[in-house]
Amino acid sequence: MRLYLIRHAQTAWNLVGRAQGHTDVALDDVGREQARRLGEAFEPKQVSRVLSSDLARSADTARPVAEACGAELELLPELREELWDRARALADGVPVHEVRPPGGESYADVWARLDALVDRVAAMDESVAVVTHGGSASLFLAKLMRGNLETSRGFRFLNASITELQRRPEGLFMMLRYNDAAHLEGLEALAGGLHGSGR
């Protein structure tokens, strides 16, 4: 079983480093081209299912992959980005992963929110692509690698990049490639900020 973890393509908010959270920001012109090239990086039947955040920037990144593979596309709110307040964390001295703004979620909340979905994906027999946001992708990958919240802080993803994993016979995941953006050569691709800014 192969798993392809993909961060959504670029939005205008990425360019200015503005946190997007649950705001439904569309892809910009570069992002749409990134999504098109991402689709071209996949072959028919390479994956049989594509799971994506239901926010437009992820869904519109996922569609070319699903179309290229002839795969089913499933939009899931569980894969949405977290909402958090970095300024409050700095002012209050609250651990970053525990900061929860009014009406929002902390990293720890999203870590827990992803539990059931990670278990579902890890048990699949079919190859699958998961399209999500920078922070959620970091948490998802840390869970697959049997790490923790601190582990997730070591991962960064370029817009429309591909991280590929293979499930070994004993159930552990082996990383085959990380943050691969070779298919975007010649296009500007931005990395997510440390705490999710612009994701």
Strand arrangement of the beta sheet that strand 49-53 belongs to: 72-76, 49-53, 128-132, 2-7, 162-167, 173-180
Token pair of 191 as six digits: 């990395």
- Is 79 in contact with 5 (CB distance < 8 Å)? no
Q: Which pLDDT value is given to residue 188?
A: 60
Q: Which pLDDT value is given to residue 194?
A: 36
Q: What is the pLDDT of residues 34-82, one digit of tens each?
A: 999 999 999 999 999 999 999 999 999 999 999 999 999 999 999 988 7
- Is 65 in contact with 71 (CB distance < 8 Å)? yes
Q: Which pLDDT value is given to residue 26?
A: 87
Q: What is the pLDDT of residues 74-126, one digit of tens each?
A: 999 999 887 655 545 555 666 666 666 666 778 888 999 999 999 999 999 99
pLDDT > 90? residue 14: no
Q: What is the pLDDT of residues 16-40, one digit of tens each?
A: 555 555 666 789 999 999 999 999 9
DSSP state at residue 158: B
pLDDT > 50? residue 196: no
Mean pLDDT of 150-167: 95
Residues 142, 139: Cα–Cα separation, whole Å: 5
Q: Which pLDDT value is given to residue 191?
A: 45
pLDDT > 70? residue 182: yes
The whole-model pTM stands at 0.86
